[in-house]
Every structure is written in C-alpha cells, then in structure tokens.
Amino acid sequence: MSDDAPPPGIDAGIPNPARMYNYFLGGKDNFAADREAAERVLQVAPEARALARSNRAFLRRAVRHLVAEAGIRQFVDIGTGLPTVGSVHEVAHELDPGVRVAYVDNDPVVLAHSRALLSGTAETTVTVQGDLRRPEEILAHPDLRSLIDLSRPVAVLLVAVLHFLTDDDKPAELVSRIRESVAPGSHLVLSHVTDEERADEAREGAAVYRQASTGITLRSREQIHELFAGFRLIEPGLVPLDDWRPDDENLLARQARRHLPTWFLCGVGHTA
C-alpha cells in the first residue's frame, strides 16, 4: 500500500484500526498515520504487538477445533480485517477444502484486499460489505446466502471486533440477534479487549484509538461474558488468548508471552 496514492475515498491521514492491527502483525498494508498511531499505542502498551499475534493464533486454533472436532463447514467472519497469513479459509481448507467462508467488513480497503486475495477461491469464499450494527442485513446479503446455508450450523467469528462498538450500539443485543438467525448447533468465536489487568496502561492504549476512525470500548470480564448469552461456553471458558486450548505449535510462543497482561479475553460458545 502506497502512502503517496491511497485508494479513492480513503483518508490516509486518519488512523484506521484495521491498518493499525496490520502494522502490529508486521504487515505492509498501512499508512504513515496508522504506523504513528500504532507506535503511540506501543509506547504505553508495548505488549500490543504480541497480543495481536496471540489473537490471530487463537483464531486459528478455534477454526481448527470447529472443523476437526465440531464438524463445522461454514464460517461467517464479521470484521475480518486486512488479509494476513493464516486466514480462516486457509486454516479450514488444510482440514477440509470444501469448507465455505464468508468474510464481512465495512472498510473499503479491507474489502478490496480481501477480494483480490480470494479471486481464485470463488467456490468456497465470498467477501461481503456489511456493518455489524445491522446483522440482519449481513446475514440476508445475497452474496453471503449464495454460499452460506443458514439452515445448517455455522460458526460466526467476532474476533477483536465488538470492542469497536460503543455501549450505545448494544453489542450484546446485536450478538443475540445473530444467534436468533442461525441454526441450532452453530458456534460463536469471540475475543475482546479488557482492562482487567494493568488498567491504566490499557486505558492509555485505548485512548489513542479515539483519534482513529473508530474508538475502542474496554469491557470487564462480566460484560464480555454477557456477550455469550444464549451460547454455552465450551472448555476452557472465557480465558486469556494463549490459554484457549493451547497446542504444541504455539508452545514456545506461549512461554515467551507468559508475562503478557490480560488485555484480551476470548472464548467459543455454541447453541443447543
């Protein structure tokens, strides 16, 4: 992505959370304003880069579990962010090439990059423009419905996205509306930032996002747990990122990150 020529309609001077996250992950799809904002976060919360990687690792483990153990063959990834190595379809297709994935985002840069990346996978993936504040529109989108059968179980991924909604957006209600729209046996994969530990640094880091295109709302463990209303959390429940069903692949990484503050909580739930 060139700082000199941003895509039409994109204000490269305003930091964007998806591009900041891309920077934390070591990606190149970001502008100077994104990098400067991300560095301000790192000044007060130097663990942010490692937590971003832990969040992606949680996503990959959850997808593997759902395909291999829960028999899920459909995923709707809402707030997908900029494509990176180990995206949902890549992880799922390692186990079953027939798994279908719908990526959803409201950011035009994310949509453009996602469509370019997925240009050769039209039979099993689709990219849809949608806003989480209007979940019924997302799930009724003709492109999504052409690939995803909502009469069958589906995994809805809300990974590092609900904290970009304010309390006025009523995130628990939005999740409930999604739950009511999917078949029994469906799953919810969720991660969310919290100020449970080292609250001052967490709040300073979140304050940087107030100057970005979307701010962050830190929520308590109890508030995050409420987002799973109507879902039964599977073991190990609502836990820090690296504690959700760790595997041998990330053992060394977990040891290196064992002193990270609990600024993210994550979990996977399912409907009866």
Q: Per residue in 200-215, pLDDT tens? A: 988 999 999 988 888 9
Beta bridge partners of 78: 104
Q: Check residue 254 and give its pLDDT.
A: 61
CA dist 131 and 122 (Å) reads 22
pLDDT: which is higher, 113 or 36 = 36
- On whether the CB atoms of residues 152 and 187 are closer than 8 A, the answer is no
In whole angstroms, what is the distance from residue 96 CA to residue 1 CA? Answer: 32
31 vs 173 pLDDT, higher one: 173
Q: What is the pTM of this model?
A: 0.92
* 191, part of any domain: yes
Q: What is the CA radius of gyration of the chain?
A: 17
Residue 5 predicted with pLDDT over 90: no
Mean pLDDT of the 92-116 span = 90
Closest CA to 202 of 193, 211, 210: 193
Residue 125 belongs to what domain range? Answer: 57-198+209-270
pLDDT number for residue 170: 97
Decide if 33 is inside a domain: no
Inform me whether the pLDDT recorded for 3 exceeds 60.
no
The answer to whether residue 148 is domain-embedded is: yes
Domain membership flag for residue 34: no
C-beta separation of 109 from 16 below 8 A: yes
Task: State how many domains the chain has.
Answer: 1
Mean pLDDT, rounded, of the chain: 90
CA–CA gap between residue 64 and residue 88 (Å, rounded) = 9
Given this model, what pLDDT does residue 10 score? 73
Position 42 in a domain:
no
3-state SS string for the chain: CCCCCCCCCCCCCCCCHHHHHHHHCCCCCCCHHHHHHHHHHHHHCCCHHHHHHHHHHHHHHHHHHHHHCCCCCEEEEECCCCCCCCCHHHHHHHHCCCCEEEEEECCHHHHHHHHHHCCCCCCCEEEEECCCCCHHHHHHCHHHHCCCCCCCCCEEEEECCHHHCCHHHCHHHHHHHHHHHCCCCCEEEEEEECCCCCHHHHHHHHHHHHHCCCCCCCCCHHHHHHCCCCCEECCCCCECHHHCCCCHHHHHHHHHCCCCCCCEEEEEEECC
Looking up residue 109, the CATH number of its domain turns out to be 3.40.50.150
CB 52 within 8 A of CB 24: yes
Please state the rounded mean pLDDT for residues 40-46: 92
Which residues make Cβ contacts (< 8 Å) with residue 118, sequence separation at least 6? Answer: 89, 103, 125, 126, 127
Q: What's the pLDDT score for residue 255?
A: 62
Measure the CA–CA gap between 214 and 16, rounded to whole angstroms.
7
For the cut 60, the answer to whether the pLDDT of residue 79 exceeds it is yes
What does the pLDDT read at residue 113? Answer: 78
Residues 233, 61: Cα–Cα separation, whole Å: 16
Rounded average pLDDT over 149-175:
97
Query: Is position 46 within any domain?
Result: no
Confidence label for 108 from pLDDT (cuts 50, 70 and 90)? confident
Q: Confirm whether 23 is domain-assigned.
A: no
Mean of pLDDT values over 65-76: 98
4 inside domain: no
Residue listed under structure tokens 């370019």: 116
Instruction: Record the tokens describing residue 86, joined without a space.
Output: 């180990």
